[in-house]
Amino acid sequence: MDNGCIILSTLKTIIQEMSMIKIYEGERISQGAEIHVGCAGLLFDENHEKFLLTKRADNGQWCIPGGHMEPGESVAETVIREILEETGLEVEIVKLIGVYSSPHIKVEYQPGQSMQPVVFNFELRQVGGELGTSDEVTEYGFFSLEELENIDFMSIHKQRIIDALANSDKTFIR
The single residue of 70, 77, 92, 139 carrying the catalytic annotation is 139
**CA 165 – CA 50 distance, rounded (Å):** 9
Instruction: Give the alpha-carbon dihedral of 132, 137, 139, 142, to 10 degrees.
Output: -80
Helix (H, G, I), strand (E, B) or coil at 174: coil
Q: Within a 13 Å sphere around the CA of 159, how many CA atoms are in the beta-carbon half?
A: 11
Active-site residue flag, 82: no
Q: Could you tell me which of 120, 164, 172 has the C-alpha nearest to residue 144?
A: 164
Would you please indicate which residues are annotated as catalytic (active-site) residues? Answer: 139
